[in-house]
Structure 1
Amino acid sequence: FIWGDKPGALADLQKASDLIKKEGNQFLYQEVQNAIKFVENPASASQQVLIEPFNQAIARNPNDANAYFYRGGGYYLQGDKQNALADITKATEINPKFSVAWVAQGDIFRELGKFTEARNSYDRAIKANSQWGNVSPSVAYAYRGLTNLVLGNTQAANADINQALQLDPKNAVAYGFLGMSLQYQKDYPRAIAAYEKAISLDAKLSPAINNLGLVKYELGDVAGAIRQFQRAININNTSAETQLALAVALYKQGQQDRGIAMAQAALRLDKRWGDIKFIKQQLWGDRLIADTQKLLANPKIR
């Protein structure tokens, strides 16, 4: 569930529930039922459901790596990344062969902007190569590829992404990262092909849809870019990047009031997108950056 596979999580929990019910363990059965309710409706989560069962498990066995891992997942779902990182790190210390925990640690480091640490975590997951849980090794290669790309090692990034796709040819995220690598190299036709493949595998992969819009904009297809940005926003309306990109495209087309209003909304979500230096660190191309500067120079934005 933490990696976005809600149907898979529900299926696994239901199987566990059926088995536990047959065994007659009412306490554990109720805990699994609580977990099912949470996956169905994360807003219903409580400290009792996410944290307390694992507090009890750790109290019974302070060396229970699984309990630390799952409690870390609970903290993560509550938005507490620091405690999540501490618990998942503890799980890897207790059990260095816990590949899925190394992947989770890498994901949190990456979200915190600590890309070198994230790459090291994915390295450890791949080297351990055991206890992957429901996570494919392809995921570790794909995200190590992403961190290598961010750290400027394009050759290593491409090798990792290609390995991810060899392990799982249906890894939509890996195709998305391949598109990013090709986009970074300004190989736009192949980047478009990679993004379209990613989207064909996962129609709700909004980052790939957003990036497809970025490429189309650089190629001068502003109308096509707008369609992709709007499509991405329909899936995820909290992305400041996509909202600002759409704002720039609308402004470019002469819809100034609408563009300004959307840019203001984007900056309320994340003010970093008002800084051209920050934008240049992203995958935005020269054409879009130049047009963004024109929009941000409008006195109504400030």
Structure 2
Amino acid sequence: MTSSFIAVLANPSAGRGRHRGLLPGVVDALGVSGRPVRILDAGTGAEAELACHRAVADGAAAVVAVGGDGTVHRALQAVAGTEVPFGVVPAGTGNDFASAVGVPMAGLEAAEAIGLALREERAHRCDLARTRDAQGEQRWFCAVLAAGFDALVNERANRMRRPRGPRRYDLAIVLELARLRARDYVITLDGVEHRFRGEIVAVGNCASYGGGMRIAPDADPTDGLLDVIFASRLGRLGVAQLKPRLRHGTHISDARVTVLRGREVRLATAGIIGYADGERIGALPLDITCVPGALRLLR
């Protein structure tokens, strides 16, 4: 089937609804490509992924995600490792991936740039990370995978019904700090094993997560490598003191923090559910591989 349309996955609740009226302008801006736009219908994350896969199977000329990193994550599952180009219109709370790959932060500007790139058949290659769990299920992610304290916070916040909004995460942080304990980790990076006891573990394809927390400040989504960050045992006070430094990436100067770089990573410990791009991936152990140039990015 001839590629003929732009498939758009939009999350109306992204950015806490601040960009709810953005979509009509995005559709108009994408029109510079000369191709019609098809808005994908999805009410859940699973439905969003299925809609993107169907659009690709139907011959979409491109897939565009309008939202934050979670929306990007869902759409990526359909285009990663294919020749179908991908665009991001930042409309989330954090937009960490868009920021890392040089996408304009103004939504309409980003949409117009996508349309022009598609019309001119320009695309930039960037890396993605692919995970595999113990059951063999594979997922792609674009920004950062958390496998320590931040993953526990995400898991707790997702189980909580109240309060709504960012206060739920603030409360989850407090509750997880209260029950914080170090875990024994085994990280295998390109065949070399590292054992330690700690609370902070992350794997970055990009520098930041959570709306600008630069957990892997030197991560580059075009270098073919993943940045692996972990800290030896910090305790409650140490974790609380380290967190503010993530905004500027200065935590890596702490003697207890280790930064490694490699192509293939295995994370193993008990009692941790990994989260990537803010989305639930699955229980450790997880195998993570950098796939160079896995995404054709329109910008």
Same fold at TM > 0.5: no
Larger Rg: 1
Give the number of the structure with larger relative contact order, counting CA–CA contacts within 8 Å between residues 6 or more apart.
Answer: 2
Normalization by structure 1: what TM-score? Answer: 0.28
Normalization by structure 2: what TM-score? Answer: 0.28
Larger % of strand: which?
2
